[in-house]
């Protein structure tokens, strides 16, 4: 868990003095694609939403600013979300 506490959370500003996860909040690790290595806060998401994954806005994906990266849960490890591809 200490390793996760040092990671940056998706959506945090690059100059944020504390861009890491906050205690007591649930996160998923993003693997692959443009957001590889970040954590995403899934507080408030339903089980159905967690099973679907998410489209996350990113400027560094295949479609540049305004594009999204799609991530979804790994079948054997739902706390890890794998990259599924980029969308405009």
Residue 2's pLDDT is 53
Query: How many Å apart are CA 31 and CA 35, to the nearest integer?
Result: 7
Q: Which structural domain range is residue 74 located in?
A: 2-87
Number of domains in the chain: 1
Q: What mean pLDDT comes out for the span 38-47? A: 97
pLDDT value at residue 29: 97
Give Cα separations from 8 to 15, 26, 47, 76 (angstroms): 11, 14, 24, 24
Output the pLDDT for position 14.
Answer: 79
Give CA–CA dist 75/88, Å, rounded.
26
Listed residue (27, 56, 53) closest to 40, CA to CA: 27
- Given this model, what pLDDT does residue 3 score? 55
């Amino acid at each position: 868990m200490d390793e996760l506490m040092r990671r940056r959370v998706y959506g945090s500003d690059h100059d944020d003095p504390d861009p890491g996860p906050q205690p007591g909040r649930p996160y998923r690790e993003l693997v692959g694609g443009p957001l590889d290595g970040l954590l995403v806060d899934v507080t408030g998401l339903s089980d159905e939403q967690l099973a679907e994954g998410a489209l996350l806005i990113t400027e560094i994906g295949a479609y540049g600013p305004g594009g999204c990266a799609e991530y979804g849960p790994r079948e054997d490890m739902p706390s890890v979300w794998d990259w599924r591809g980029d969308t405009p």
